Chain A
Amino acid sequence: MALNLDDIKRIAHLARIEVSDNEAQETLNKLSGILGLIEQMQAVDTTGITPMSHSQDVTQRLREDVVTQTNQRELFQSIAPATQDGLYLVPKVIE
């Protein structure tokens, strides 16, 4: 799969990362290199091998359903840029 500069701009936008034109070229080269590596790996026959979703072969530990957290709103909101009546304030969003 070959990437072009438009792909890079789109991916950057989706991730909300600002990428200048110079950086875009550099990122294109790096990402293309990674995709090349993946292409090489895809040449390996993996028939019958269960796909791995985590690097360690262990399963998820579960937590008992108990409320352990107390209200720390004052503490958390002390570092928020803007709050009012207990709400975090952000620039207006209307769908």
Chain B
Amino acid sequence: MQWEVVIGLETHTQLQTKSKQFSGASTTYGAEPNTQACEVSIALPGVLPVLNKEAVECAIKFGLAIEAEMAPRSVFSRKNYFYPDLPKGYQISQFELPVVGKGKITIQVPATKNTEAYEKVINITRAHLEEDAGKSVHGAVEGMSGIDLNRAGTPLLEIVTEPDMRSAAEAVAYAKKLHELVQWIGICDGNMQEGSFRCDVNVSVRPKGSDKLGTRREIKNLNSFKFMQQAIEYETQWQIETLEDGGTIQQATVLFNPDTGETRAMRSKEEANDYRYFPDPDLLPLEVTEADKARVKALMPELPQALQARLVSEYQLSSYDASTLTASRSQADYFVATVAAGAEPKQAANWVMGALSAKLNAEEKSIVDSPVSAAQLAALLKRIADNTISNNAAKQVFEGLWAGEGEVDAIIEAKGLKQVSDTGAIEAIINEVLAANQAMVDEYKAGKEKAFNALVGQCMKASKGKANPAQVNELLKAKLG
């Protein structure tokens, strides 16, 4: 039988605020245990939550970025359960009326050996504001668990998709796109190691062609795209094999073990989850007006889709180049800054996606830490455009800039890379080369085109690479008649 996998994602993004969702405690990562756990975070009796304005603005930004319906009034609810890292006995979340409703994100699924690259629209069901729980630390004291409530109350936006994805590749493409988007609009730092971006993946399988959903299992807390891919592939295979062997799938929460590459069901609770949601009487309905949306929109950067369209229309870049350059905000910013500093757009695109990106990858550096600034790259490209240096010499200048040897013109000077464009000087070199290579000249005259390229090569060599190749070509052709 042919099987189809059906995948939906729930992503917890930690919002980039200074203080917590409902109190003025700091959210800085990595502080000493419980030094950022105020009376609201540890849930002392009688405290009251007060909602963080910045967190609400982050939610509005996300809603605008995915063209979502936004509720004029949304409601905070209590999700009730008992766990030591949740001292209130409930998490403040949103249930029936989330702040962000239906929206959509377009993903780019990369090509593989057997399939072409394609785009797909993933529907977003909702995004709601909630607070994070604390952390349990095991093993410090025999028979006890330690509780650190620094993270308790940290603002989260949980983003939920429809079950629209049909392969691990689509799920990963969506997760990567969302990861870039939340960083682009500046609501989340995207740090997966520190848990700022955590994905839960719901996976089910069904016979191909069926429109009924199979029973799903939820893979919890994936914090790398590589693990996500492995976990979904393993889980899909496991479900198909279980069904083909005549078994049934039980709804469950599973964990992925990176060491074995397997998923394993967590000990099932004796009682099904019953969170008994109800509106939190400590919090009033959250109002988001058209004016709020307009104000927040004015604070937002140009969105990737809009910038991509502008790169095509304004700079005549191909849509492939435009989509590559806008894959991350930092790369797009760098490109735009290079062009703003006077570089020709197509050439800037080639250098940013080519030499610069190769060098950054090789040294595992991010573009924000690039030793070559956008202004320096622009200065370099201007020297190619005005024929001061050749493309080849530019690569040497780029290496010099990378190594911190100074500014563009100084490096050109120091390395003696200035291109010779003086006709007289080039003619002198050509004459020398022709005299020394009579055999090649004869070959060319006998009809061997290749001999011409060899002569150009000799001229470039004689000029130590400094002659303007286009001029050499032209003058040599004229001489050989």
Q: Which residues of A contact B (CB under 8 A)?
A: 10, 13-16, 53-54, 56, 58-69, 71-73, 76-77, 82, 84-95
Which residues of B in the span 49-87 have a Cβ within 8 Å of any Cβ on A?
Answer: 50-56, 73, 75-76, 80, 82-84
Instruction: Please measure, in the bound complex, the distance between the C-alpha atom of A88 and the C-alpha atom of B80, giving whole angstroms.
Output: 21
- A10 neighbours in B (Cβ, 8 Å): 271
Chain B residues with CB under 8 Å of A62's CB are 50-53, 56
Shortest 6 CB-CB contacts between residues of A and residues of B: A87-B146, A68-B24, A65-B54, A86-B33, A62-B53, A59-B287
Interface presence of B454 (CB below 8 A): no
A89 to chain B, nearest CB (A): 5
In the bound complex, what is the Cα–Cα distance between A71 and B331 (angstroms)?
39
Q: Is the CB of A65 within 8 A of B18?
A: yes
B146 touches A88 (CB 8 A): yes
Residues of B within 8 A of A86 (CB): 32-35, 148
Shortest Cβ distance from B8 into chain A, in angstroms? 23
User: B44: which A residues are within 8 A, CB to CB?
Assistant: 76
- The contact of A53 among B51, B97, B147, by CB within 8 Å, is B97
- Write 19 A-B pairs (CB below 8 A) sorted by A numbering: A14-B276, A15-B80, A53-B279, A60-B285, A61-B284, A63-B19, A63-B24, A65-B18, A69-B23, A69-B36, A76-B44, A86-B32, A86-B33, A87-B148, A88-B147, A89-B141, A93-B84, A93-B136, A94-B145
Q: Let me know if B138 is at the binding interface, CB within 8 A.
A: yes
Q: Is the CB of A92 within 8 A of B17?
A: no
- Residue interface mask B17-48, A partner, CB < 8 A = 1: 11100011110000011111111001010000
Contact B140 A93 (CB under 8 A): no
A60 close to B287 (CB less than 8 A): yes
**By DSSP majority rule, is chain A's interface helix, strand, loop, or mixed?**
loop
When A60-B51, A65-B55, A87-B33 are in contact, do A76 and B39 touch as well, CB less than 8 Å?
yes
When the two chains form their complex, are residues B140 and A85 in contact, meaning their CB atoms are under 8 A apart? yes
Q: Which residue of A lies closest to B76 (CB)?
A: A60
Q: Would you give the shortest CB distance from B393 to chain A, in whole angstroms? A: 51
Across the interface, which residues of A come within 8 angstroms of B287, CB to CB?
59-60
Contact of A87 among B24, B83, B137 (CB under 8 A): B137
Q: What 1/0 flags go to B134-170 for Cβ under 8 Å of A?
A: 0011101101111111000000000000000000000
Q: Is the CB of A60 within 8 A of B53?
A: no
Residues A92 and B143 in contact in the complex (CB < 8 Å), given A63-B51, A66-B18, A85-B33: yes
Which residues of chain B have C-beta atoms less than 8 A from A73's C-beta? 34-35, 37
Give the docked Cα–Cα distance between A67 and B36 (Å): 10
Residue contact A89 to B146, C-beta cutoff 8 Å: yes
Q: From residue A46, how far is it (CB to closest CB) to chain B in Å?
A: 16
B246 at the interface (CB under 8 A from A): no
Any A CB within 8 A of the CB of B369:
no
Tell me which residues across on chain A come within 8 A of B34, comparing CB atoms.
Answer: 73, 76-77, 86-88
What is the distance, in angstroms, from B41's C-beta to the closest C-beta of chain A?
8
Q: How far is the CA of A15 from the CA of B276 in the complex (A)?
A: 10
Q: Are A69 and B276 within 8 A (Cβ)?
A: no
- Chain B residues in 8 Å Cβ range of A90: 84, 144-145, 147
Q: Would you call A56 and B284 a contact (CB within 8 A)?
A: yes
Contact assessment for A85 and B144 in the assembled complex, using a CB-CB cutoff below 8 Å: no
B17→A69 contact, CB < 8 A:
no
- Closest Cβ neighbor of B220 among chain A residues: A95
Expressed in whole angstroms, the Cα–Cα distance for A67 and B19 within the complex equals 5
* Closest-CB distance, B132 to chain A (whole angstroms): 16
CA distance A64 to B32 in the complex (A): 25
Q: B286 at interface (Cβ–Cβ under 8 A)?
A: yes
Question: Which chain B residue lies CB-closest to A58?
Answer: B284
CB closest chain-B residue, reference A13: B271
Q: Knowing A63-B50, A65-B54 are in contact, say whether A76-B19 is a contact too (CB < 8 A).
A: no
Give the CA-CA distance A42 to B266 in the complex, in Å.
41
